[in-house]
Amino acid sequence: MNAPRHLLRVVFSLSALACSVILTLFVRGRAEWSDAFWLQLAASSVALCAAASFVAFRNGRLQLDGVPMLRFVLVFLRELATVYILSGVAVTAIALAVIFGITRSGANALALAVLAGLWLSLWLAPGVAAFTTWRRLRSTTASDATQS
């Protein structure tokens, strides 16, 4: 059984939507939470997600053609774990620098930075892992085709 052709596109789009909601809330989070706020949040998040998806899907990117499901799952899980760890460390380091710069309290800054790094990476990692999985599967499929 092969993996569904557009599975990576769905994963990327959901991750991009979650990240765009977080970004919009970060930018506009102190606004009054009225009906207009929620409509603006939804509209801007969908627009950001659509723009990111448009760029990511150009020229047939993130499509799986004839990839066995087991191979896909193994590659995707390995990429997801790697990206989650790397993005967690990167987001934690950035958050630590920003929070420490504001609060000048090491223990509080570290706690908040670790929490931010682990939480934000949950939403960011699947989208990045979808792209790296597609690249890895594409390169191995291309090398298998040239050897045949």
Mind listing the pLDDT tens digit for each residue in 26-76?
A: 888 777 888 988 999 999 999 999 999 999 999 989 999 889 999 999 999
Which pLDDT score, from 0 to 100, does residue 28 have?
A: 80
In a domain, 37, yes or no: yes
In a domain, 35, yes or no: yes
| Residue reference for tokens 């997600």 | 49
Conformation bin of residue 105: beta by default, left when phi > 0, alpha when psi is -120 to 50: beta
In a domain, 111, yes or no: yes
Name the residue range of residue 11's domain.
7-147
In a domain, 87, yes or no: yes
Q: Give the tens place of pLDDT for each residue, 80-98.
A: 999 999 999 999 999 899 8
In a domain, 2, yes or no: no
In a domain, 1, yes or no: no
- Confidence category of residue 110, pLDDT binned at 50, 70, 90: confident
Q: What's the Cα-to-Cα distance from 67 to each of 2, 62, 98, 120, rounded to whole Å?
A: 5, 12, 42, 30
In a domain, 52, yes or no: yes
Q: Give the tens place of pLDDT for each residue, 121-130.
A: 999 999 999 9
Which pLDDT score, from 0 to 100, does residue 148 have?
A: 55
Q: CA-to-CA distance for 112 and 97, rounded, in angstroms?
A: 11
pLDDT greater than 90 at residue 143: no
In a domain, 18, yes or no: yes
